[in-house]
């Protein structure tokens, strides 16, 4: 699509938006978030893009029409860690999102949620999308399947309007910075920066997607430590408070950390701060975001940083899933 315009719902730090832009190109027309921390992040990165605020109160007829609508709507109604009320949960805002699609009539809609959504409320989403004239593809992907040192299993949904002439996603099968589209079968198992999902509704297992899987052997730890001496233990000149800190030494997680370092081409930050608290910079790295994307935003408290990061999407994970679904939808 040329000059594609993207509307973002429940935008957060724009993890899903980044993936959509990587696959389809385009520019943001508007974003939507009511969380103060997320709103500050959005204003910092997109000062000229309007935040339309509470999507449950928006007059969609007054909102700029867009080619793509995307969003990671609240997962609390469906998460296995919550009360699992599904559509009976007061935080279930899908009906408002469906209404936005009915008014805006985008060519493509892309959504993300927890995998347990398949068991709670997903039938309603599918029925609504069908009633609105969309064909739907979906898959479940884990962050570990693109090299991240954590699982974060998520459901991704791609809906395409039946009356749209084409997806316009020529970029979906292209190579970008070592990434490979779903149509490329020549991927080398030795190249951790190249990723080709299977076309069976589930992406490859994290252990098989990356060479060696997650190892917990002394030889693996020693060889990785030797190749990245500045990323393990106390650095020269640092206070002794770092000495022996389990998160800083990585332990059995070292091979997984090294794998993500190679994928991102940058070393892992410290996992904890000088007060032995979880470091937002480390969580930002775990999510595969550019350094400072959240933690460099002026005026954000540590809690706001962690809240935004905890609610976010791993862009590389989302990109791989969208590429798979776009290839299926051709």
| Separation CA 242–CA 169 (nearest Å) | 48
Query: How do residues 16-25 score in pLDDT, each as one tens digit?
Result: 999 999 999 9
| pLDDT bracket for residue 163 (50, 70, 90) | confident
| pLDDT bracket for residue 273 (50, 70, 90) | confident
Q: What is the dihedral of CA 327, 318, 155, 201, to 10 degrees?
A: 30
| Domain architecture of the chain: domains with CATH | 5-207+315-328 (3.40.50.150), 218-310 (no CATH)
This prediction's pTM: 0.76
CB atoms within 10 A of CB 148: 24
Cα separations in angstroms, 320 against 1, 56, 132: 19, 30, 26
What pLDDT is recorded for position 310?
92
Query: How do residues 200-255 score in pLDDT, each as one tens digit?
Result: 333 333 333 332 222 222 333 333 333 333 333 334 444 433 333 344 578 888 88
* Phi, psi (rounded to 5 degrees) for 12: 60, -135
Asked whether residue 266 carries a pLDDT value surpassing 60, the answer given is yes
What pLDDT is recorded for position 166?
59
| Separation CA 111–CA 138 (nearest Å) | 9
| pLDDT bracket for residue 305 (50, 70, 90) | very high
Asked whether residue 306 carries a pLDDT value surpassing 80, the answer given is yes
- Higher-pLDDT residue of 273 and 48 is 48
| pLDDT bracket for residue 91 (50, 70, 90) | low
């Amino acid at each position: 699509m040329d000059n594609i315009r993207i509307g973002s719902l429940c935008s957060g730090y724009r993890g899903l938006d980044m993936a959509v832009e990587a696959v389809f190109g385009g520019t943001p027309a508007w974003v939507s978030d009511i969380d103060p921390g997320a709103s500050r992040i959005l204003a910092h990165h997109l000062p000229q893009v309007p935040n339309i605020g509470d999507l449950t109160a928006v007059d969609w007829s007054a909102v700029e029409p867009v080619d793509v609508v995307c969003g990671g709507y609240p997962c609390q109604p469906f998460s296995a860690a919550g009360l699992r009320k599904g559509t009976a949960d007061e935080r279930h805002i899908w009906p408002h999102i469906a209404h936005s699609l009915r008014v805006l009539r985008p060519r493509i809609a892309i959504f993300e949620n927890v995998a347990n959504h398949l068991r709670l409320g997903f039938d309603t989403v599918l029925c609504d999308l069908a009633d609105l004239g969309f064909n739907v593809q979906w898959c479940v992907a884990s962050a570990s399947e693109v090299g991240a040192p954590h699982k974060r299993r998520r459901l991704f949904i791609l809906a395409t309007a039946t009356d749209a002439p084409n997806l316009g996603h020529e970029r979906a099968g292209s190579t970008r910075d070592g990434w490979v589209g779903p149509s490329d079968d020549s991927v080398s198992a030795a190249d951790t920066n190249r990723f080709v999902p299977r076309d069976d509704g589930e992406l490859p297992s994290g252990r098989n997607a990356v060479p060696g899987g997650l190892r917990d052997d002394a030889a693996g730890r020693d060889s990785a430590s030797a190749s990245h001496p500045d990323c393990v233990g106390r650095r020269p000149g640092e206070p002794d408070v770092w000495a022996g800190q389990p998160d800083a030494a990585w332990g059995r997680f070292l091979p997984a950390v090294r794998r993500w370092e190679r994928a991102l081409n940058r070393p892992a930050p410290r996992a904890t701060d000088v007060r032995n608290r979880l470091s937002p910079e480390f969580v930002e790295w775990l999510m595969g975001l550019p350094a400072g994307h959240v933690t460099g935003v002026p005026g954000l408290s540590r809690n706001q940083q962690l809240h935004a990061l905890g609610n976010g999407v791993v862009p590389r994970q989302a990109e791989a899933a969208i590429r798979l679904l776009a290839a299926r939808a051709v």
